Structure 1
């Protein structure tokens, strides 16, 4: 068998499969190396996709329990089948795995299951479960090995009572209580999912707001909305220790008055972020360097110190998002193939799949203030939307930040129904430097959630809204 390739991609997550497929489309002979049986990496198997499947299922259950009566729907004796709840998630994963396998065959990409380790800048050793070692040769490599959950110093994720997001989405039964360390995207999404099902949730967050990296109004509004669920927020608290007590866990923390407190629950979910995963790649042998956070150092072309080795996605600097990894992957594949490629991290939106959803792109109000940059605000509430009133999705707002001189859109921040879909509209506006006035002048279908953005753009120009 010929083991010589034009490009070898290591890792089959969004960055890996996107780069492999794009390179194959551009005529390259491509191999993809993946250590696990299922393609798709964290996103497809234990991250984005399964999390959204569970979030959607939990929202259906919550709606049936709390909202259906208002719509004239009587459900009777409502029950949760937790086994089926988890089984549906597994079905979704299997469907996505099958789809990726089809794309590999369609694009004539050769798959190798095993762990890749560099022999030199042109050679990779792949060790598989059978104990075999296969030597692959290539002109260029793309490292796309992703990330894994991180923890706090001195706190080990034992995968039994002290768990990561991976274990949280595959528990054998619904927990009665859970303490979540971290109020960022992962912690908040899983908190909302379990709370909808009836789990008593306590979130302990070091910052003074949930979603601390996003526009602060978003976190404050989401906390108020999630307060309707069985969630307790302990903000500005520092976790000291987490102990597995057999049938429960105890989390010790310093509160906002520096008093030591303890929280006990069935499980402790560590949701303090993720860290790059490069274990076993043997980066030292090829002279590839990482920073203090373990991220592979790359230049503007996403090349490492070895010109023939590129890196994309979570293993390099930038937001750890699936869509960012995909853009990295396509960008690198096109560069290697001699195409003109474009990449702009400023245009990568962030999304939180709670309900209401949260989405953001561009500058936050806090960033603009720290930069001393003037801005106008246009803010329109969902409660003033006819579409939102029709569906009873009244929480949230659209907030547009605009340059007062030229009308350029600097940032857009949405919390409300379908915010995850609406943010693409805003990203397009920023990408092509369309003014807020021009974005408002577009004709929006009525009634739709998109009209909250139309009105926010109008208000940002200083014009009054006829709907608010």
Structure 2
């Protein structure tokens, strides 16, 4: 049996399902293959992001923040409560319902847009054919004018701390704890480690993060990274830099199991720490297992990513790849935009993704967000720039909301004043950064933002003030003396 489609998408994560929907909207006969199954063995859409990534982690982050507020902050507002308790299974159940609702939503969107949803695995063969094996094991060959590979990524495992899905878990297992660990270790103080560490710290865990790199959040602007490090330290996260894990040993039985982690510290001394649970989150790698036949014509680069050009076209004619499986930041929104671009290019349009303006967010509390170039990147490139910073402590809304920590940093070209980057740690940073991304997309200057009327009182006034500070014109704080 052979079915012919205009577009077959392999993978229904944020890159794949968006590509499938956009292709169908453009009148292309589209199918989307997804291998993910829920706990009952039923096929579900959404990939890693929706099922065990972005969405469930945010559900737990919000639950844990509400608990933390009740425990620490309510009394400041004159609100008193009885003895607090956390029902972890109920919290996990709420998270699962959120995931179920969102994955069901994709199914509804597929129906509304007439996308054929296929559950099972897809393997790219030569000549734009796809070997589809459904969840019952039945195999058939599908044909398409175009194939979009959107198979996503998986956590990187390390030999010195092998995941057993019991005491040692990856980012997926960390979303399924049934009780709050007394002592929690996290290998990796990047985005995932900070978010998951924050969840369990707020709920009462003693959390130690072991980071091999010398710099905290090396991908972020270092002024913002240092401010974030200070804030997280005050919250009780024990973040240890320059620590390289060399081994781990699980001891005990049942609920008395624990893991001892051996590592070298920044001075080269061997240290050990014992934890009830250990989360390994040292990064992710592209998932291509069983995806490509040897004669598919698609090539991988030296890091295992599918090789594509700027338009996400692979070396095989009519075959495209998007999302975590190709170069660039592993961000859901980046993958979605690539999916839209590819679908529209298949339909004969000529869109591009502006890779210079992709926001990046860490959903801690406060959030950390960035868009554009960091100060370190601009220094390395020799680009002339000016910087404006503004603290949330000087923003009335932030003080009134008891969220005064953090700052906005705006960077603009020294000669043209065009915004080159913005970096924020503070309340609603994920939403505030989008204002600047829009401005940058339209080629705005810092002066443009400074001349825009912002509502008062709002968190976003910190963005306006930081833009004004670039030229030394901030109103609600003393401006730094500028070089003549």
Q: How many residues align?
A: 468
- String of CA shifts for 1:200-253, please: whole Å, max 9, x gaps: 110001122332211112222222212233321211111112233341112111
Q: Which residue does 2:8 correspond to in 1?
A: 8
What residue number does 2:246 align with? Answer: 240
CA distance in 1, matches of 2:244, 2:169: 19
Shift in Å at residue 83 of structure 1? Answer: 1.1
Report the secondary structure of 1:158's partner residue: coil
TM-superposed deviation, 1:154: 4.5
Matched residue, 2:128: 122
Specify the alignment match of 2:227 in structure 1: 221
- Offset at residue 464 of structure 1 (A): 3.9
When residues 467 and 159 of structure 1 are mapped into structure 2, their CA distance, relative to the original with a 3 A threshold, is same
Q: Cα distance, 1:302 vs. partner?
A: 0.8
**1:21-420 mapped onto 2 (5 Å cutoff):** 21-36=21-36, 37-246=43-252, 247-420=257-430
Deviation at 1:382, TM superposition (A): 0.2
Q: Distance in 1 between matches of 2:130 and 2:44?
A: 21
Whole-Å Cα distance in 1 between the matches of residues 373 and 73 of structure 2?
35
| 8 Å contact from structure 2 (residues 161, 280) kept in 1 | no
C-alpha root-mean-square deviation of aligned residues, in Å? Answer: 1.3
| Alpha-carbon distance in structure 1 between the residues aligned to 2:369 and 2:474 | 25
Please tell me whether the aligned partners of residues 379 and 399 of structure 1 are also in contact (alpha carbons under 8 angstroms): yes
Q: Is the 8 A contact 1:199 1:230 kept in 2?
A: no
Report the Cα offset of residue 153 of structure 1: 4.6
Pair 1:424-2:434 in alignment: yes
Instruction: Give the deviation of 1:110 after TM superposition.
Output: 0.6
Q: Which runs of no fewer than 5 residues in structure 1 stay unpaired?
A: none
1:121 and 1:309 in contact (8 A); partners too = no
CA apart distance, 1:157: 2.0
Matches of 2:439 and 2:250 in 1, distance apart?
A: 49
- TM-superposition CA deviations, 1:53-79 (whole Å, max 9, x none): 100110000000000000011011111
For the Cα contact (< 8 Å) 1:162–1:267, is it kept in 2? yes
- Partners of 1:83 and 1:155 lie apart in 2 by 26
Determine helix, strand or coil for the equivalent of 1:284. Answer: coil
Match of residue 453, structure 1, among 463, 469, 477: 463
TM-score scaled by length of structure 2: 0.94
CA distance, structure 2, for counterparts of residue 353 and residue 311 of structure 1: 28
- TM-score where L is the length of structure 1: 0.98
Q: Using the alignment, how far apart are the partners of 1:213 and 1:243 within structure 2?
A: 31
Please give the alpha-carbon distance, in whole angstroms, between the structure 2 residues aligned to 1:327 and 1:229: 35
Separation of aligned partners in 2, 1:78 and 1:186: 27
Q: How far off is 1:2 after superposition?
A: 6.8
Q: Secondary structure in 1 aligned to 2:324?
A: helix
* Structure 2 CA distance for aligned equivalents of residues 341 and 254 of structure 1: 49
Structure 2: gaps (5+ residues)? 37-42, 479-484
